Amino acid sequence: MRIRSLALVGVTTALLAATAACGSSAGGATDEITPVSVTIDGVGAVDTDKAVAAKVPSDVRGRGTVTVATNAPYQPFIDFKVEGRTDQFVGLDHDLFQAASARLGLKATFTQQPFDGLVPGLQAAKYDAIAGGITDKKERQQVATFVDYSASGTGFLVAAGNPLGVKTVADLCGRTVAVQKASNQAKNLAAYAKQSCAGRPLAVKEYPENPQAVQALIAGNVQVVAATRVNLVETAGSLAGKAELVDDPSSPNGWLASPNGFGFLKANKELAEAYRAAVQSLIDDGTYGKILARWKQTPIAIEKATVDQAID
């Protein structure tokens, strides 16, 4: 998944956010909850469960909405619904967050933001949550609490026919690899190159967005693209005859598979716990599985929604 270096925006902002959070409380009479229903294409209607919705902090329940910052395109997790418009979204994360919100009696509004501004913006309390193919990282947990809803790692996209015989990460030594700027892949491959590619330099080239990294492969400017494996499944399918996804049986979910999560301000742990319960409810009733299947991501499914289970 994707990662950015944390840019802490100051103690004052964090303290204000924490103070605001302390003024809220979860629970309350379930008859205060206004039911919400959303229809997820290819899945069906998702309705409010008042027992789960009772976990929502009272201040959030009072306004009935949450704001979610994302960075599209990053298929299949998040994408623009209509080309040229940046205010309507589709994708796995969009569907799952909308469904979890409805289960909690809330409505969710997504907004486009630069990826490297998502975590700082969350810390500055510009929005309630972040979503869209984001890896739960221990570094990020300095600021955010993550509700982990799946697990996936890095995949490798190569030219059709895999002429270089790339099978595992070890085969990247001596190659030029494209990644998204400041991504999880950029960080991990830089570390791997230093530790394991002595005498066979692994050159990592960063691009602003993942589609640009893929175009660099097609143009022959790089030899491999490293990105979230599930993200590359759809990409490879759309590039038949031009590119293909490496199949590594030893790492079926990708290299260094990590949990993916929805991020909430650390001070808002009650809200994060409410969303964890909502995701678990969707897992239990089968809605979660239908959403993953719709986006062809069943392999990244988990059986239990967790919080802050980063592996690094």
Distance CA 17, CA 95 (A): 28
pLDDT in tens, the chain (312 residues): 554 333 434 433 443 344 344 444 455 455 589 999 999 999 999 999 999 999 999 999 999 999 999 999 998 899 999 998 999 999 999 999 999 999 999 999 999 999 999 999 999 999 999 999 898 999 999 999 999 999 888 999 999 999 999 999 999 999 999 999 988 899 999 999 999 999 999 999 999 999 999 999 999 999 999 998 878 988 999 999 999 999 988 887 789 988 999 999 999 999 999 999 999 999 999 999 999 999 988 878 888 999 999 888
Residue type present at position 104: L
Could you tell me if 133 and 1 are in contact, meaning their C-beta atoms sit under 8 angstroms apart? yes
pLDDT (0 to 100) of residue 1: 55
Could you tell me if 108 and 68 are in contact, meaning their C-beta atoms sit under 8 angstroms apart? yes
Could you tell me if 93 and 132 are in contact, meaning their C-beta atoms sit under 8 angstroms apart? yes
User: SS3 helix, strand, coil % of the chain, rounded to 5?
Assistant: 35, 25, 40
Cα dihedral across residues 165, 221, 180, 198: positive or negative: positive
Model confidence, pTM: 0.69
- Helical spans, DSSP H, in the chain: 11-22, 50-53, 58-63, 92-103, 118-123, 184-196, 210-218, 229-238, 269-284, 287-294
